[in-house]
Chain A
Amino acid sequence: MSAGTDIALFFGFGLYLLLMLVVGVVTVRYMRSLDDFVLGGRRLGPWVTAISERASGESAWFLLGLPGATYALGFAEFWSVIGIGFGILCSWTFIAVALRGYTGRAGALTIPDFLAARFPGHGLAIRGLATVIILFFYTTYLGAQFVGAGKILNATFGMPYAWGMVLGAVVVLAYTMMGGFLAVAWTDLFQGLLMAAVAVVLPVLALVHLGGWHGMLSSVAVKGPDFLAINAGKTGHAFVFGVMIGGLSWGFGYFGQPHLLTRYMAIRRIRDLRHGTLIAMGWVLAAYWGAAMIGILGVGVLGSSLADPEQVMPLMTRALVPPWIAGMIISGAVAAMMSTADSQLLVATSSLTEDVYVKMLRRGRPPDRPEFLVLLGRIATLLISAVALFLAFTNQELIFDMVAYAWSGLGSSFGPVILLALWWKRTTRGGALAGMIVGMVSTVAWQRSVTLQGILDIKAASFLLSVAAVVVLSLAGVGARVRKPS
């Protein structure tokens, strides 16, 4: 790589980082209360809500992991894309309106807040358990995003791995601490549009480069017929439970990700969710199928022998476009990481401040000054980032293991409980607690057992077991509210 190329790449990337910091500085003036810091004062319009939800929902996995998987496995990986697409639509359809309505009426700022309002009781069990799940999964999930930043910047610019992690963490931390939820949501808007643009433009450029559809098909023939087959050459149990359900079950996770659900809670008016759904699904339909095609087309552009398939997107970008544009396009991958990391950081922060401090430690006491709570939020943001960065430094395997693990853990601990709490009146407090525990425990058990993974995919198994736990204990009346005789 020449010095001129280096400078052009850095220029595109530096421009992007500067823009993120400007948003932080601009939004800092709107931070007057904890409500402003953790939920933006419920002032978001449909465009910011929808694109922010999409950008937060897709981490570095979207432009690195998914193209890497289609590059290695072929069209069978589209089952994941389909599961994700329908999962997102179901989440906007069955959760967004009901959750925004309920939390708006109850004044709930966080998911543990919502659960505590929906299942009132004397103890702090439900709020405490939800907070533990959030803090455990999000600090590790966040650590994985910082590892992602280190790997992207190392592969693209040759920056030392540790510096890349620290740079990614410092930029995210700076604008999140300054502007809170509003900064996160507005940077997400830009980042989400950049990610979609990359996922649409790059496959088109590659297709033109290869001479159209027929050119692509002849250039990927080197991978063999299974690469083009939707069943990856598998039949029977291996196809149905391994390839198909394994891919489709990614969709279950969307019901239980607090960093996405808080986007629905922050929208200004419930009716804006109608446009929000259309915008979010437009993003999915344009970007997701395109991101998956990057890997397929990458075989034609780069050949079939990449040492690390997850490098297919940055390498293809550098092969097809001039360096300064490549800098901006590769920023899309960093944007995918940052837009997820900032949202996760904020959810973990709000759990510490709102759930642990305000609702547990200060319960029944006079409220603190709003300025003090915003300051506390900023300190919590700093603290959680430090823990996540420590985890990133001490565990280099994080990005591979913990992202899927945390996705499954959060999805199955919260998804069934939230879905049933909103739509099934008979759901009891005992059922909700059992569902959260079973979702968390079954994720850990499945992760550690190859035998269980051979029976059913971790995401589907832990979600279904959690649903069963909520339904059975609710029907049995465990933890049901006792009505006083009149």
Chain B
Amino acid sequence: MPWSTVAVVVGSWILLLALTLLYYLVWSLHRDYGDGEEED
């Protein structure tokens, strides 16, 4: 199986997972929910 296929299919999966976790982490640390009235 060509290495380029493995790199794109697996690499894109890992990159997407990493970006998702990064977004979740940044938001967790930031603690700003967009508008105060939504807090309860």
Contact = CB atoms under 8 A, between A and B. Distances in A.
Interface in B9-26: 9, 12-13, 16-17, 19-20, 23-24
Which bucket holds chain A's interface residue count? 20 to 34
A89 B19 contact: yes
Interface residues of B, number: 23
A230 interface: yes
Interface string A262-281: 00000001110010011001
A266 to B, nearest CB: 14
Contacts of B19: 89
Contact of A85 (B1, B12, B28, B38): B12
A75 B5 contact: yes
A361 B19 CA distance: 46
A230 B20 contact: no
Contacts of A285: 13, 16-17, 20
A98 interface: yes
A393 to B, nearest CB: 40
Nearest to A79: B8
Contacts of B37: 105
Given A217-B1, A230-B5, A89 B20 contact: yes
A86 interface: yes
A315 interface: no
A274 B17 contact: no
Contact of A278 (B24, B34, B38): B24
24 contacts: A78-B12, A82-B12, A85-B12, A85-B16, A89-B16, A89-B19, A89-B20, A101-B34, A105-B35, A228-B2, A229-B2, A229-B5, A230-B4, A230-B5, A230-B8, A269-B33, A269-B38, A269-B40, A277-B23, A281-B16, A281-B17, A282-B20, A284-B16, A285-B16
Interface of B: 1-2, 4-5, 8-9, 12-13, 16-17, 19-20, 23-24, 27-28, 33-35, 37-40
Interface of A: 75, 78, 82, 85-86, 89, 93, 97-98, 100-101, 104-105, 217, 228-231, 269-271, 274, 277-278, 281-282, 284-285, 289
Given A89-B16, A230-B4, A285-B17, 8 more contacts: A75-B5, A89-B19, A93-B23, A230-B5, A230-B8, A269-B38, A271-B33, A277-B23
